[in-house]
Each structure stands twice: as C-alpha cells, then as structure tokens.
Amino acid sequence: MPKIVVHVMPKPEILDPQGKAIGSALQRLGITGIDQVRQGKRFELTVEGEVTDEVLAAAQHAAETLLSNPVIEDVVSVKVQGQGGHGGGGCGCGGHGKAHGHKPAPANGAENLMGKDFRA
C-alpha cells in the first residue's frame, strides 16, 4: 500500500529546545561536525488504493490543519512513497527512481535524514 509521508519542522524563528539537547548530546558523545540540530515530526499516512490528486490534496490539508501547528511549525513536505507517478521512489525523498544515490532505509523503518533538506 502506498504511503503519504509528511514532514513538519519548527519555524526557523522558533526556539527548538529538543534540537539543542540533541546537539549537546552529540558533542558529549564525541560526534563532531554537526553545527545545529532541529527536531521535526514525520507522519506516515497509509492509503487504501491509489493516491489520486484528491487524496494528496486532502493529506496536504490535514498536514496544514491537524498534523502541524501553523503558529510555530511549517509543513515542509507532503510526498507519496511506494507508488509510481507521484514520486514513488523507495526512500521517501520523492521524485526519482531507486538508482538515486541514497542508501535504502534500514528494515526497521528508520531513516538517516542527515543532509536532506526537506524545504526543497
């Protein structure tokens, strides 16, 4: 079944105490080269059947009105994963096929999101 993946991030002007705590922990663990951490949210909406333009529009509306707090958060992406025609590459970064240079996500569903800019 295809999924619609929604990424929500705090607005740039909003303080991110969780991101700061993660950044401090990285330094304590000896992980260097990370300048700043911002923590966001990822939602996976499993869709029955095909993701039509109407379903995608409904997911966008849900992202803007329910999944995010528009006062302090931005919806940075709403993309289809697991279906051709709407950017159905396997990693969820959207818009290209499997030979795109990303390593596949681990089997537990976690992804390495470092280096991805969801505002693009």
**Cβ neighbours for 39, distance < 8 A, ≥ 6 positions apart:** 10, 16, 18, 19, 22
Position 62 scores a pLDDT of: 97
Radius of gyration of the chain (CA): 16
One-letter amino acid at 2 equals P
pLDDT in tens, 53-64: 999 999 999 999
Q: Hey, which CATH number is domain 1-120, 3.30.1280.10, 1.20.1090.10, 3.40.50.620, 3.10.20.30?
A: 3.30.1280.10
The first and second tokens of residue 90, run together, are: 């396997």
Position 104 scores a pLDDT of: 41
pTM over 0.75: no
Element (H, E) at 23: helix 17-28
The pLDDT tens digits along the chain (120 residues) read 899 999 999 999 999 999 999 999 999 999 999 999 999 999 999 999 999 999 999 999 999 999 999 999 999 999 999 876 544 444 444 444 443 343 444 333 333 333 433 333
Position 11 scores a pLDDT of: 97
Q: For the chain, what are the domain ranges? A: 1-120
How far are the Cα atoms of 6, 62, 109, 118 from residue 44, in angstroms, in the given order? 7, 12, 11, 15
